[in-house]
Structure 1
């Protein structure tokens, strides 16, 4: 008996796999019962798959299929079942008017409906939350757009907070995200190309660009890299990022990600390409340069004088985040004569009872700081900040009093951590955290010579890095003088006539010249 049951289960499994294999080319039958059985076999052991037959004249003529939780059942009951129960379905004496046409015209007159004749399209539509309708005697199915799954409302992005600027952010719903972009660029030149990636997840992906601004070579490269992805499922946009970046082993990000619709709109206006992925609020933007990692959305919502000063602060903090611990280790270990005498005496006095070399001390403190930062992120918000602050104060103070580390080392590590938080792009900040450790090891082994070696190697890597064929250090290397003004400082809006030359290939300027404010002297004219 057990052997017979095992044989039946094996036959059932093989039948299902065979159906899944052949479904791409399988056409719907005119027999309603046959179509139902195939769908039930495909969705076997799927408790959320719902089948609702509808009888006409006491005979099953129509069957509805949908996924519970993905389809708006309240609207379905209101639009379909309530009128059907009250009025019934009046068939037409005209033989040319089929039952499917009657359902389409009388029960769903104002709803988006498509007709399909293949099982593969019907199954994919049901899995996306749409309603599938099969009618007896017709070798086609009606697909009704009734998606109604729960979704998060539009909120301010938690990772890119601004004081001045829009407060809306992307959500996990693809069409909500594209609509937020459409609100900002109301032009038919904004193109949204759709494709599906993932054998099992069937994740919807959209390529966004502005026709006439984007480079055709860049657009073709993005399409090519996306279409060659073969994977079972895409759960977040980072899955795609790893498949399409130029240098996967580089610590530096080559594709920008953001939750802000205004950033995506601004980047598209500069000739870049955005990649929207369903089920994630993070949108990918390509190409990315090293300098765009220092730019925040708020840079273009504040006056350019203040923004330019803030950019210099960020560049300075970037160097502090990478080199300050290394310089401290190198000077205190190999080059104490370069330290002012009074400062050297203070450092020597603080390190008098510390049992570890400076390099070990710095590495220990850096690892503890990274651990505290990770704990603050992973813990619930109510206690995360408290743990990170209290942990840093208690551990730092206790370690200094116990003579395990010196006070200067705590100050250096704390200053380095603060500097790394000044970088607007989180993925660029993580690159700094990784680079800091090899720089520390080089400083501990070779002193300032090791720092110089690390600096040269890092810059050679950055100069050779590419993002979709665009040099990562553009416009500094290769140098494009016209674009340097929006790198080191934020150029006034009335002076920024052209977009970046490495992506902006139009000869036409973005705005006419001569718009610099020129107030008249001597008061207002009447």
Structure 2
């Protein structure tokens, strides 16, 4: 109960900015309400004010609908709000005179609130969700969230009518985390739809969803999901505290939340995992992890995570044990190749000729005869060329981006060899390295590999094989000291925990 009460407080407090008016609604004519809102939404041409009237016997109830025409579903407003109000009098007459209770209080004092008039509107309006509000801050928030607010004369309470528009892209297959055997749906930019995709898979009351509002200007909805019977509640308290302490004006994507939550922003390794697959999120929920969804983003944050979780794919659990473990082995191999293969080549060519077979050494020497740069400069130049091609292909339209990447790599590689800018062996080494960096199921892991690769190459060019050993010692020490929200990053290997190691590194069968 303590956690729920604090979350309720957060949902109110996090919306506040210095300009927000928290005064209650006072009984006034609807014309005064409109003037107040016109001052608040000055120069906002998308805000619409629609007066409505309801004939109840000899009384005429005046009402005012306020909404943003770019955020609402206009069909819902016309069919479920305006049409029932306009047709109420004729329906009442067709069924005979049925006078409802008087609208005003007994002493006809407007200052006490014209509550009955609001109840009559609520009875005839057919929207799916109706709730009452009594503060101006709630009015402004409801309008900006795509709802419609209804005022009536001399009533200190307003109605919030559910009229949000659901326009947006439809659910489609993930283009980032593709898999051969797996569900084909992925998250979209609507947070309610994303929660529905999770609820569709986990039909349990233990699945809890807590909403919070972050961003003093954007008022972005953040949903925290967890399994009540599996989550570490102390961890959940810490996560909630971190989110409540976020001070920012706007949240446009889940990356804003991620950067505010991470404890080691200068580490090359991520402390949260991102995914747009509902099945992956459900699997993590069942393991006791916490999921953070952001309205307007198709990316979910998974936390806490471990280093070995970066090598896991949801497809691992849909294939047989041998094939999934073999795939994981290749991912670990790809991690080592992507970080160390260029540095090993530089160290062998520069310092450790005796470790290369004589015939291979002679061929390598012939290939490098006309190359004017030392191996380290050659490797760094090729790395820069690859990064430029990668960035260019990402920024180009998807239809030609992949073609430019492939053609650019072939043309530049061939031209570099023909002009003696780089040796054929170096082109092959860099090509294998790039392939190794793309073997991971989560693309953000490749950023860590690219950051590590350059320093290790420089260390190899300076100290040879000892430089590579020193670099890897630094990486391992850093991983041992790194934590993800209080959990050791190398868990379950360090510290060793045999009870969970079965899926930490090597996957075992579901029956085990």
Which TM-score applies when normalising by structure 1? 0.88
> 1:59: how far off?
7.3
Alignment counterpart, residue 121 of structure 2, candidates 103, 121, 124: 103
> 1:429: how far off?
1.2
Alignment counterpart, residue 365 of structure 1, candidates 367, 382, 386: 382
SS at match of 1:449: helix
> 1:93: how far off?
4.6
Alignment counterpart, residue 476 of structure 1, candidates 468, 488, 493: 493
CA distance in 1, matches of 2:305, 2:494: 14
Q: Is the 8 A contact 2:321 2:507 kept in 1?
A: yes
Q: Is the 8 A contact 1:20 1:42 kept in 2?
A: no
Q: Write the mapping of 1:489-508 to structure 2, written as runs, cut at 5 A.
A: 489-495=506-512
CA distance in 2, matches of 1:111, 1:288: 39
Between stretches 89-98 and 414-423, larger displacement belongs to 89-98
CA distance in 2, matches of 1:86, 1:59: 14
> 1:483: how far off?
2.3
Between stretches 32-41 and 50-59, larger displacement belongs to 50-59
Alignment counterpart, residue 94 of structure 1, candidates 101, 109, 125: 101
CA gap 1:483/1:22 in 2 versus in 1, 3 angstroms:
closer
Q: Write the mapping of 1:120-139 to structure 2, written as runs, cut at 5 A.
A: 120-139=137-156
CA distance in 2, matches of 1:254, 1:419: 22
Q: Is the 8 A contact 1:53 1:60 kept in 2?
A: no
* 1:161 equivalenced with 2:150 (yes/no): no
Structure-2 residue corresponding to 1:398:
415
Between stretches 77-86 and 297-306, larger displacement belongs to 77-86
Structure-2 residue corresponding to 1:54:
52
> 1:485: how far off?
2.4
Deviations 1:431-476 (A, max 9, x none): 0011101111111111111111100001000000000100000011
> 1:206: how far off?
0.8
Structure-2 residue corresponding to 1:73:
74
Q: Is the 8 A contact 1:51 1:63 kept in 2?
A: yes
Which TM-score applies when normalising by structure 2? 0.90
Structure-2 residue corresponding to 1:82:
83
Structure-2 residue corresponding to 1:512:
none
Q: Is the 8 A contact 1:171 1:177 kept in 2?
A: yes
Q: Is the 8 A contact 1:69 1:149 kept in 2?
A: no
Structure-2 residue corresponding to 1:204:
221
Alignment counterpart, residue 40 of structure 2, candidates 33, 39, 42: 42
* 1:458 equivalenced with 2:469 (yes/no): no
CA gap 1:268/1:56 in 2 versus in 1, 3 angstroms:
closer
CA distance in 2, matches of 1:421, 1:119: 52
SS at match of 1:208: strand
Q: Is the 8 A contact 1:203 1:233 kept in 2?
A: yes
Gaps of 5+ in 1: 1-18, 496-526
Structure-2 residue corresponding to 1:509:
none
Q: Is the 8 A contact 1:28 1:35 kept in 2?
A: no
SS at match of 1:24: coil
CA distance in 1, matches of 2:382, 2:18: 56
Q: Is the 8 A contact 1:129 1:147 kept in 2?
A: yes
> 1:30: how far off?
3.0
CA distance in 1, matches of 2:490, 2:501: 11
Q: Write the mapping of 1:106-255 to structure 2, written as runs, cut at 5 A.
A: 106-108=124-126, 111-255=128-272
Q: Is the 8 A contact 2:338 2:437 kept in 1?
A: yes
Deviations 1:44-68 (A, max 9, x none): 1111111111245797811100011
* 1:417 equivalenced with 2:431 (yes/no): no
Gaps of 5+ in 2: 1-16, 93-97, 104-114
SS at match of 1:480: coil
Q: Is the 8 A contact 2:207 2:228 kept in 1?
A: yes
SS at match of 1:195: strand
- Taking only aligned residues, the RMSD between alpha carbons, in angstroms, comes to 1.7
Q: Is the 8 A contact 1:290 1:473 kept in 2?
A: yes
> 1:103: how far off?
1.1
Q: Is the 8 A contact 1:197 1:229 kept in 2?
A: yes
CA distance in 2, matches of 1:132, 1:92: 26
* 1:440 equivalenced with 2:457 (yes/no): yes
Structure-2 residue corresponding to 1:344:
361
Structure-2 residue corresponding to 1:9:
none
CA distance in 2, matches of 1:134, 1:27: 10
Q: Is the 8 A contact 2:208 2:225 kept in 1?
A: yes
CA gap 1:234/1:22 in 2 versus in 1, 3 angstroms:
closer
Structure-1 residue corresponding to 2:307:
290
Q: Write the mapping of 1:508-523 to structure 2, written as runs, cut at 5 A.
A: none
> 1:98: how far off?
2.2
Alignment counterpart, residue 270 of structure 1, candidates 275, 279, 287: 287
CA gap 1:105/1:411 in 2 versus in 1, 3 angstroms:
same
Deviations 1:6-37 (A, max 9, x none): xxxxxxxxxxxxx9736123434333222111
Q: Write the mapping of 1:321-340 to structure 2, written as runs, cut at 5 A.
A: 321-340=338-357
SS at match of 2:44: coil
